[in-house]
Amino acid sequence: GAGVSQSPSNKVTEKGKDVELRCDPISGHTALYWYRQRLGQGLEFLIYFQGNSAPDKSGLPSDRFSAERTGESVSTLTIQRTQQEDSAVYLCASSPRRGSWGNEQFFGPGTRLTVL
Amino acid sequence: RKEVEQDPGPFNVPEGATVAFNCTYSNSASQSFFWYRQDCRKEPKLLMSVYSSGNEDGRFTAQLNRASQYISLLIRDSKLSDSATYLCVVNVEASGGSARQLTFGSGTQLTVLP
């Protein structure tokens, strides 16, 4: 079956521009996560959606970052007024309904964002 | 102190060697533990969950020590294809119905040499 897909795969933008990144989770997965991974670094949690619950936005680094998700489908991560330090790979992951041991997260291939 | 800490490596080992990675976590309320693997310029993928009693999957053995708050991954008879970054991952279930995200360590880089 189809995995998590993300678009675009690569995005080059100029400092100060807004960008929108898209994530299509695996069908039926209620949980959706966004992470940022800078070159040579670990994953940095950004935001988490679980069904119709209020999202956990505790990882968003500034008010320039926002994300939306419609129901249990597509999510978009928007970065306004991009800065060079926003350059990173943005990874989306989805997970089925939470179980007692936590659930595996299935990652998309990521969007590589470069801010010039 | 980071919530999840790993030795970044790199670990360079010959084929056939046994290699072990350790990971420590700071939150004693952590409930679920995983090892993910990330190949160069690829997305992370689940390698194995870590159970309290320890578990094995072929050449891979994972162990959990709750008292000392560390997790380990042992790879026996390492193969060239094992070369990757290994991420230690910890989950804490928050109260109030808002499930906590997984916390990823920065990863340990392994290179298996021919």
Predicted local confidence at residue B96, as pLDDT: 46
Chain-chain contact of B102 with A108 (C-beta, under 8 angstroms): no
Q: What is the CA radius of gyration of chain A?
A: 14
Predicted local confidence at residue B21, as pLDDT: 94
Mean pLDDT of A26-48: 90
Q: Tell me which chain B residues have a C-beta less than 8 angstroms from the C-beta of A53.
A: 97-98
pLDDT tens, residue by residue, A7-17: 999 999 999 99
CA distance A107 to chain B (A): 6
pLDDT tens, residue by residue, B62-101: 999 999 999 999 999 999 999 999 999 988 765 544 445 6
CA distance B109 to chain A (A): 10
Predicted local confidence at residue A100, as pLDDT: 39
Confidence of residue A47 (pLDDT cuts 50, 70, 90): very high
Find, among A42, A43, A40, A32, the residue nearest to A6 by Cα: A32
Chain-chain contact of B31 with A102 (C-beta, under 8 angstroms): yes
Provide the 3-class DSSP secondary structure of residue A37: strand
- Residue B103: closest CA among chain A residues belongs to which residue? A45
- Residue A41: closest CA among chain B residues belongs to which residue? B106
Chain-chain contact of A45 with B43 (C-beta, under 8 angstroms): no
